[in-house]
């Protein structure tokens, strides 16, 4: 298990660097200037990085919470079916699979709304806030 986790972490780190390099290339192409260095000493860059990291933890927390709530609903449904259909345990009756699938589908659509809005909305909000901060500072490059 530890080896596969190590490969997963390594693969994620590699993907992060590749995506970041692709981002730098896109910024260079869009701006028409060579963009090779990101100065993490700039307040905007540091705050953006910290917000991005915090967003990951919040997203994961909300996703785990959603899975926990859904699992509780499924357990209640399975217990209900065991009471109604005692032959399920003996294999003489079939459970209502559709009910459990409906619970999971409904919960996925309902519970994952917050994480989805976080993932889609946070970059937009941060971009607009930093655009306002940049225009407030006169749009100058404060290196």
pLDDT band at 95 (very low <50, low <70, confident <90, very high): very high
Of residues 77 and 50, the one with the higher pLDDT is 77
pTM score of the predicted model: 0.64
**Percent of the chain having pLDDT more than 70?**
94
Average pLDDT over residues 74-99: 92
Tens of pLDDT, residue by residue over 66-79, are: 889 999 999 999 99
Which residues, 6+ apart, have CB-to-CB distance to 115 below 8 Å?
59, 62, 63, 66
> What average pLDDT is seen over the chain?
85
């Amino acid at each position: 298990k530890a080896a596969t986790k190590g490969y997963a972490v390594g693969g994620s780190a590699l993907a992060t660097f590749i995506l970041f390099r692709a981002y730098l290339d896109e910024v260079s192409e869009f701006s028409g200037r060579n963009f090779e260095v990101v100065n993490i000493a700039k307040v905007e860059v540091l705050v953006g990085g910290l917000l991005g990291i915090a967003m990951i933890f919040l997203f994961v927390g909300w996703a785990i919470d959603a899975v926990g709530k859904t699992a509780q609903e499924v357990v209640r449904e399975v217990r209900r079916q065991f009471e109604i259909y005692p032959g399920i345990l003996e294999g003489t009756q079939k459970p209502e699979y559709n009910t459990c699938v409906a619970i999971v589908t409904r919960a996925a659509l309902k519970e994952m709304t917050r994480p989805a809005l976080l993932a889609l909305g946070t970059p937009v909000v941060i971009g607009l806030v930093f655009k306002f901060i940049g225009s407030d500072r006169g749009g100058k490059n404060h290196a």
